Structure 1
Amino acid sequence: MKLLKTVIGLAVAAACIDAHAVTYKVPADGSRLVGEVLVTTVPGNNTSLESIAAQYQQGFSNMMEANPKVDPYSPRPGSTVIIPQQLILPDTVHEGIV
């Protein structure tokens, strides 16, 4: 009985978790580039590039490649940081979920 309650509790908890996905507009004919480049300002509270990457659900290495002149561990407060949100789609027919 206790196992059943635990399983039901876990099932209810799992059902309550939100799933978030980024959606992109369909690119113009012939274009394979989707998304956009975002720019943000580094706050003044000793925020690392890694925490900014996590906030925008980006990889740390992607952020470092997009911002080669920014100190990844102690970016200057007030400086601008590029958030790479563009993707190149494969050169194929796109049907359904890409």
Structure 2
Amino acid sequence: MALQITDATINEVLQTDKLVVIDFWAEWCGPCKMVGPIIDQISEEYKDKVVVGKLDVDNNDDTTSRYGIRNIPTVLFIKNGEVVDKVVGAGAKTLFTDKIDKLI
């Protein structure tokens, strides 16, 4: 299961040498409900290599603004504190895993 990331925990989550994958989502977002289970699967499959989390945009304005999130779902790929790739909108699992495989 993916970590539940908040404004209060984001900086701690980013204190890692591993790739960090964050799914920005909201409960009311239909496409987010398609991406959510994929993110949970990826969290399990890559648990020793990647930190995977979800951030609810409705309850975490600071982090949402910090990364300029305007559309959801948006999945950010962060390495050493810097965004190195992103996916905006829903997509197949391979869209996410292909990016992860290239970045780890």
Higher relative contact order (CA 8 A, sep 6+): 2
Same fold (TM over 0.5): no
Normalization by structure 2: what TM-score?
Answer: 0.22
User: Counting helix residues as a fraction of each chain, which structure ranks higher?
Assistant: 2
User: Counting strand residues as a fraction of each chain, which structure ranks higher?
Assistant: 2
Normalization by structure 1: what TM-score?
Answer: 0.23
